[in-house]
Every structure is written in C-alpha cells, then in structure tokens.
Amino acid sequence: MRLSALSLIVPDYDEAIAYYCDILGFRLLQDIDQGRKRWVQVSPGEGSAGFILARADDARQAEMIGHQGGGRVWLFLETDDFIADYERFSAAGVVFEETPRHEDYGTVAVFRDLYDNRWDFIEYARTP
C-alpha cells in the first residue's frame, strides 16, 4: 500500500491550480469535470503523494480552508536544492515565516500557502 493523495479544501479550483502549479511548481495530474464538481489532482513530483483539490461545498467546509492542520505545520514539501527553490519561491511571492534554519535533520523554513496552510519546506541532511 501507499498513500496516493490527501484532500485539500480550497475555495476555487482554478485559483488553486494556478497557485500550486504556477507558483510552487506542482504538476496538474488530472482535471476532470464531474458536473457539480471537478476531480483535480496535483503533485509536487514523480512518485510523490499529491492533493485532490476539493472545492468547499458549504459554509462549514469553507471555514476549514487554511485550518485543516489546526494551526500547526502539517504539510511537508521536500526539495533536493533548498537554496534555489527557496529563492524561486520567494521571488514568486511565497511568504516564509522565518529565515532558513539548519537542524540535525536538514535545512528547513516554514511558509504559508495561498490559503494559510503551514508547510515545512525542507532539504533533508545527507547521510554519509
């Protein structure tokens, strides 16, 4: 078994696709019109779990946008080139909560996405 995707509640499909694909560089895997809703799947890279972008259907779901992690970092985006991607994200307007820091496990900085979800952006330390 493997985790293939998580559902991420968003207010608008096209706005979310533009952010995750154009700003963060995710790939749009599927965008299927199902009438009342769309099946939209994005992923940061080959072999990686991605998101089903789920448009909020009612007020209760809309209230959860940006709060699915309860205010904690709950999404983790790994890179093999932290500095280049950090600079690219910053130039594209991604808001980081902190400057990059070095931990025993790697280089990391927390950012908030378009919907206020908190992410760890991380390059794991290489083991010799």
d(CA 101, CA 84): 15
Give yes or no: residues 55 and 74 share one domain.
no
Residue % of the chain over a pLDDT of 70: 99
CATH value at residue 36: 3.10.180.10
Burial class (CB in 10 A: 0-12, 13-18, 19+), 119: buried
Pick the closest to residue 12 from 32, 35, 50, 40 (CA basis).
40
96 confidence band (pLDDT: 50, 70, 90): very high
pLDDT digits (tens, 9 = 90+) for 40-78: 999 998 888 999 999 999 999 999 999 999 999 999 999
Q: What pTM was computed for the model?
A: 0.93
Are 79 and 52 found together in one domain?
A: no
| CB 12 within 8 Å of CB 55 | yes
Handedness of CA 85, 5, 8, 35 (dihedral sign): positive
Host domain of residue 37: 1-65
**Tokens encoding 121:** 């952006």
Does 75 share its domain with 47?
Answer: no
Both 60 and 75 in a single domain?
Answer: no
Q: Is 57 left (phi over 0), alpha (psi -120 to 50) or beta?
A: alpha
